[in-house]
Amino acid sequence: MATILLLSGPNLNLLGDRDPQHYGTTTLEELVALARETAAKHGHELEHLQSNHEGVLVDAIHAARGRCAAIVINAGALSHYSHAIADALAAFDGVKVELHLSNPYAREEWRHRSVLSGVVDGIAVGFRATGYRIAVEAAAEMIAGR
């Protein structure tokens, strides 16, 4: 059994209520339950942390080193400019999956670039809640293949 760490960045605590046209109406709690269920099907446990603070997310990535087999991260808006999170992920040698509920490439131009994409193994974007299942499935398969 391995531990998969799911990280949620700023404003994702407002899911369910926030901008449903882009993010749907599923709450973060429901998304975490879906991710946890998917991890359990593969025999893994899933930990989750949501923070509105960049440094808290960086600390969580550091604390996952040598302890978690994979990180699945929806860093919210930080995805587009946090080189600190990108550097922390680069120093994590487990499986890394970037996740977005919406398709940022079909939205405002400032969302078209993710500074995290270059340091992760794969990306799931635009599948709303289903993306949480897809991302955890992909992480579990990559863990198995290592």
Residue numbers annotated as active site: 23, 100
The span from the CA of 117 to the CA of 96, in Å, is: 10
Residues 30-89 that bind ligand DQA (CB under 6 A): 74, 76-77, 79
Residue 67 CB-density burial (10 A; 0-12 exposed, 13-18 middle, 19+ buried) = exposed
Which of 70, 88, 101, 123 touches ligand DQA by CB under 6 A? Answer: 101
Beta strand 3-8 pairing with 70-74 = parallel
Q: Which residue is nearest to ligand DQA (CB)?
A: 76
Q: Does 104 bind ligand DQA (CB under 6 A)?
A: yes
Count interface residues toward ligand DQA (CB under 6 A). 10
Choice between 65 and 107, CB closer to ligand DQA: 107
Closest CA to 48 of 65, 70, 17, 26: 70
Nearer to ligand DQA, 38 or 82 (CB): 82
DSSP 112: S
Residues 63 and 42: their CA atoms lie apart, in Å, by 23
Question: Considering the complex, what minimum distance in angstroms separates the CB of residue 134 from ligand DQA?
Answer: 13
What is the binding site for ligand DQA (CB under 6 A)?
A: 11, 74, 76-77, 79, 100-102, 104, 111
